[in-house]
């Protein structure tokens, strides 16, 4: 985040996407009144308004938006104003069908939904720039403007375009990266399968081919596609910055434990504040744990600074298999969970529930049934709760454990040619995070290669692809006294997806004091037993000791007697390896030992099951958020004043589903 453009609030953000163009003007007046009643202080406006704002090329109709912004300003509501480029109008596709995106199988997608554009299209970019400039000039001085919202969820529907324009842009990107065709041929290993390129024109995106397209070509195309989306964002951001240098510019990242197309580590440094969208899966009984993980990823992207939830849902969404409403209390609990983990506010999609269009069954802050509803009462009560948290704004989350999270490793694990399709990159990361969540320990999520200073324990799940810088940082961290836990299928390939030869886990053999000669995926349902009584699934490795000690070995399965868990003392620290996927109890037991060795402690001792505690700290004090996800009231020992309920410790009763935010006595 640029220092001079820090998130400009001294209050927690409360609000949502506001789409007034779907309603008659009389409704707008009511909207502002209701926003005031709910304590809303920010709404996102005009995200999907291009077709109304520019009904034909270069003819603009801003009157309705002028009236909306004036009304909002009159009501004291701030605006997160979109530059409206998220979805081009039908006239663009009609006049320039070449701006439409093309799939890997060569199908040109049609307009009629949203986001139907090729990110590399010069025509799309030019039209988006014109619209951005006009909006910036018109509203740059508007008193309601607080922040610019560029586009929407880059890459959500179209993350990669395979058209000829994209192909030419890909070649330019490759030329810049590798300099020469020789460099490209080396990196892509094109002597394999007669793929050697002799002219740049021969190089294409990894379109549908008779068998696996070259893996490095696939990886580079993902990197290129992320860079194209960043370039698109930056071009529009720079126009906004030029016209309004003091207004922060952001876009909303799609943060889900399964959303892999965009490398957000690469994107995050280009926004003035990290804003994310997160939706829980309504049938997931552990949705709150997945939420905690995604919130920790978001905080990581923000470099530990405060961030904001730009969208989540008040209740059901409209795009899952069964869109089940949230349970009682979840609206508030989920919002405050994000705040506990460093968000300075949580907004919703959307303000008023649509009556037409694809999202009419998606929940909103004002439901179809109106204000005499549970959702509306919850929205109002959340506004009141957030209004009591002014002191917390700007504080940051405390953690002494880091989890290394990496899009390259994610991508290499998504490729079509790999040992096991059952190894999904986020699985092990989430399993480790879940075990520590249950132990009441807060985890920071960090980029591979980031400085690990200040942490006691570093978790390295399935870091299949790793470059030399990240290896060196982990080695330095351990030698200096840190504890690391690396898990299976890590350290295998370099940044070009070439195997680091000499035995697995190539990059970490020395650090871990082991060598693995063979990788062995297990069939679905297969279980191996370990000598400490724990059980494992999915994957085992035939490992030999080279300085490490075997802590646990396999009792059954293909590698009886081979180490499954090893421990290696290096300098002042310790490097652990877990070569298999332990069942949850076993993983919790192992982490208990590793956490103990690292001297990591939970935020509050002896937390009951299903209760989450996170501490935020800053010049205004320290604040412990305690969230009770369980069905029974719990008593928590914490000394201070609950900002939400006004009660004071040393012991606080937190009702089933309740939340306390305790300003600790110092």
Residues in the chain: 666
CB of 362 to ligand GAL, least distance (A): 5
Residues whose CB falls within 8 Å of the CB of residue 492, separated by 6 or more in sequence, listed in order = 464, 465, 499, 500, 504, 505, 506, 507
Cβ closest to ligand GAL, residue 152 vs residue 395: 152
CB of 594 to ligand GAL, least distance (A): 37
Cβ closest to ligand GAL, residue 71 vs residue 156: 156
Six-digit token string for 248: 């922060």
CA distances from 392 to 7, 248, 331 (A): 14, 21, 20
629 forms part of the interface with ligand GAL (CB under 6 A): no
Q: Strand 634-637 relative to strand 611-618: parallel, antiparallel, unpaired?
A: unpaired
Stretch binding ligand GAL (CB under 6 A), from 4-12, 56-64, 152-160, 288-296: 152-160
CB of 133 to ligand GAL, least distance (A): 24
CA-CA distance, 117 to 123, in Å (whole number)? 10
CB of 363 to ligand GAL, least distance (A): 9
CA-CA distance, 469 to 279, in Å (whole number)? 34
CB of 326 to ligand GAL, least distance (A): 13
Runs of H (alpha helix) within 244-317: 264-268, 287-301
Q: What element of type H or E holds 170?
A: helix 164-178
| CB neighbour class for 277 (10 Å; exposed up to 12, middle 13-18, buried from 19) | buried
CB of 476 to ligand GAL, least distance (A): 40
Cβ closest to ligand GAL, residue 17 vs residue 220: 17
Stretch binding ligand GAL (CB under 6 A), from 116-124, 149-157, 476-484, 488-496: 149-157
Q: Strand 401-405 relative to strand 443-447: parallel, antiparallel, unpaired?
A: parallel
Residues whose CB falls within 8 Å of the CB of residue 54, separated by 6 or more in sequence, listed in order = 60, 61, 89, 131, 134
Using the 8-state DSSP alphabet, how is residue 607 labeled?
P
- Are 121 and 99 in contact by the 8 Å Cβ rule? The answer is yes
Helix (H, G, I), strand (E, B) or coil at 155: coil
Helix (H, G, I), strand (E, B) or coil at 498: coil
CA-CA distance, 60 to 130, in Å (whole number)? 11
Q: Mark residues 307-326: x for contact with ligand GAL by CB under 6 A, - for none.
A: ----x-----x---------
Stretch binding ligand GAL (CB under 6 A), from 20-28, 150-158, 396-404, 484-492: 150-158
Binding residue (CB under 6 A) for ligand GAL from 51, 104, 156, 316: 156
CB of 191 to ligand GAL, least distance (A): 43
50 forms part of the interface with ligand GAL (CB under 6 A): no
CA-CA distance, 388 to 36, in Å (whole number)? 16
Cβ closest to ligand GAL, residue 286 vs residue 359: 359
- Are 14 and 42 in contact by the 8 Å Cβ rule? The answer is yes
CA-CA distance, 433 to 522, in Å (whole number)? 23
386-413: b (≥16 Cβ within 10 Å) or e: beebebbbbbbbebbbbbbbbbbbbbbb
Binding residue (CB under 6 A) for ligand GAL from 277, 290, 444, 497: 277
- Any idea which residue has 């037409």 for tokens? 356
CB of 294 to ligand GAL, least distance (A): 14
279 forms part of the interface with ligand GAL (CB under 6 A): yes
Would you please indicate which residues are annotated as catalytic (active-site) residues? 153, 311
Residues whose CB falls within 8 Å of the CB of residue 110, separated by 6 or more in sequence, listed in order = 93, 100, 116
Please tell me the count of residues contacting ligand GAL according to CB under 6 A.
10
Main-chain dihedrals φ then ψ at residue 29, nearest 5 degrees: -65, -45
Using the 8-state DSSP alphabet, how is residue 59 labeled?
B
Q: What element of type H or E holds 216?
A: helix 215-243
Q: Strand 252-254 relative to strand 275-277: parallel, antiparallel, unpaired?
A: parallel
Stretch binding ligand GAL (CB under 6 A), from 148-156, 321-329, 502-510, 653-661: 148-156
Cβ closest to ligand GAL, residue 196 vs residue 281: 281
Side-chain half-sphere CA neighbours of 458 within 13 A: 32
CB of 317 to ligand GAL, least distance (A): 5
Binding residue (CB under 6 A) for ligand GAL from 31, 54, 153, 220: 153
Helix (H, G, I), strand (E, B) or coil at 50: helix
Q: Which residues between 440 and 469 bind ligand GAL (CB under 6 A)? A: none
The alpha carbon of 254 is separated from its chain's Cα centroid by a whole number of angstroms, namely 6
Cβ closest to ligand GAL, residue 358 vs residue 560: 358
Cβ closest to ligand GAL, residue 82 vs residue 591: 82
CB of 153 to ligand GAL, least distance (A): 4
Q: Mark residues 234-263: x for contact with ligand GAL by CB under 6 A, - for none.
A: ------------------------------
Binding residue (CB under 6 A) for ligand GAL from 362, 500, 509, 581: 362
CB of 51 to ligand GAL, least distance (A): 15
Cβ closest to ligand GAL, residue 287 vs residue 486: 287
Binding residue (CB under 6 A) for ligand GAL from 41, 44, 87, 152: 152
Six-digit token string for 585: 């109890």
Cβ closest to ligand GAL, residue 366 vs residue 552: 366
Cβ closest to ligand GAL, residue 338 vs residue 500: 338
Six-digit token string for 463: 């870091």
Binding residue (CB under 6 A) for ligand GAL from 124, 349, 407, 539: 349
Cβ closest to ligand GAL, residue 44 vs residue 132: 44
Residues contributing to the site for ligand GAL (CB under 6 A): 152-153, 156, 277, 279, 311, 317, 349, 359, 362
């Amino acid at each position: 985040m640029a220092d001079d453009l820090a998130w400009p609030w001294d209050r927690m953000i409360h609000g949502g996407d506001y789409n007034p163009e779907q309603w008659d003007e009389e409704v707008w007046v009511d909207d502002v009144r209701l926003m005031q009643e709910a304590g809303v202080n920010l709404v996102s406006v005009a995200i999907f308004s291009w077709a109304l704002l520019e009904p034909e090329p270069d003819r603009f109709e801003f009157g309705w938006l002028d009236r909306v912004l004036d009304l909002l300003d009159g009501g004291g509501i701030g605006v997160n104003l979109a530059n409206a480029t998220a979805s081009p109008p039908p006239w663009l596709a009609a006049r320039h069908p070449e701006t439409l995106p093309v799939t890997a199988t060569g199908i040109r997608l049609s307009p009629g939904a949203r986001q139907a554009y090729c990110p590399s299209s010069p025509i799309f970019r030019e039209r988006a720039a014109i619209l951005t400039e006009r909006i910036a000039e018109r509203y740059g001085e508007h008193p309601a403007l607080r922040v610019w919202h560029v586009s929407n969820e880059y890459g959500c529907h179209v993350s990669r375009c395979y058209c000829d324009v994209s192909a030419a842009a890909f070649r330019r990107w490759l030329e810049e990266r590798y300099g020469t065709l020789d460099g490209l041929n080396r990196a892509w290993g094109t002597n394999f399968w007669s793929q050697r390129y002799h002219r740049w024109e021969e190089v294409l995106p990894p379109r549908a081919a008779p068998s696996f397209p070259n893996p490095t070509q696939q990886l580079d195309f993902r990197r290129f596609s992320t860079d194209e989306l960043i370039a698109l964002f930056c071009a529009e951001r720079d126009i906004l910055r030029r016209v309004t240098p003091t207004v922060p510019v952001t876009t909303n990242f799609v943060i889900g434990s399964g959303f892999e197309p965009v490398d957000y580590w690469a994107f995050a440094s280009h926004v003035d504040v990290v804003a994310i969208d997160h939706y829980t899966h309504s049938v997931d009984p552990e949705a709150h744990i997945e939420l905690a993980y995604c919130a920790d990823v978001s905080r990581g992207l923000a470099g530990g600074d405060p961030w904001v939830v730009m969208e989540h849902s008040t209740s059901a969404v409209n795009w899952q298999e069964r869109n089940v409403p949230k349970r009682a209390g979840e609206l508030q609990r989920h919002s405050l969970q994000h705040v506990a983990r460093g968000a300075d506010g949580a907004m919703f999609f959307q303000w008023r529930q649509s009556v037409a269009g694809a999202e009419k069954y998606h929940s909103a802050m004002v439901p179809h049934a109106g204000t005499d509803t549970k959702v509306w009462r919850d929205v109002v009560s959340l506004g009141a709760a957030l209004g009591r948290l002014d002191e917390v704004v700007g504080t940051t989350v405390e953690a002494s454990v880091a989890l290394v999270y990496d899009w390259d490793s994610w991508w290499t694990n998504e490729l079509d040619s790999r040992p096991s399709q059952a190894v999904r990159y986020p699985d092990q990361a989430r399993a480790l995070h879940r075990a520590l969540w249950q132990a009441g320990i807060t985890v920071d999520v960090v980029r591979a290669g980031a400085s690990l200073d200040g942490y006691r324990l570093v978790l390295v799940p399935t870091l299949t692809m790793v470059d030399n810088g990240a290896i060196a940082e982990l080695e330095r961290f351990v030698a200096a006294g840190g504890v690391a836990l690396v898990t299976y299928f890590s350290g295998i390939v370099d940044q070009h997806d070439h195997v680091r030869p000499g035995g697995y886990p190539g990059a970490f053999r020395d650090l871990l004091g082991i060598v693995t000669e063979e990788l062995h995926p297990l069939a679905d349902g297969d279980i191996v037993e370990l000598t400490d009584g724990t059980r494992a699934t999915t994957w085992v490795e035939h490992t030999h000791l080279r300085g490490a000690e075997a802590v646990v070995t396999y009792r059954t399965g293909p590698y009886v007697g081979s180490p499954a868990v090893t421990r290696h003392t290096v300098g002042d620290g310790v490097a652990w390896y877990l070569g298999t996927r332990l069942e949850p109890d076993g993983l919790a037991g192992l982490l208990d030992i590793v956490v103990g060795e690292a001297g990591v402690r939970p935020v509050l001792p002896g937390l009951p099951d299903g209760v989450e505690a996170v501490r935020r700290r800053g010049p205004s004090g320290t604040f412990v958020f305690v969230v009770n996800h369980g069905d029974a009231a719990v008593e928590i020992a914490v000394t201070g004043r609950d900002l939400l309920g006004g009660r004071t410790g040393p012991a606080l009763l937190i009702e089933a589903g309740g939340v306390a935010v305790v300003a600790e006595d110092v």
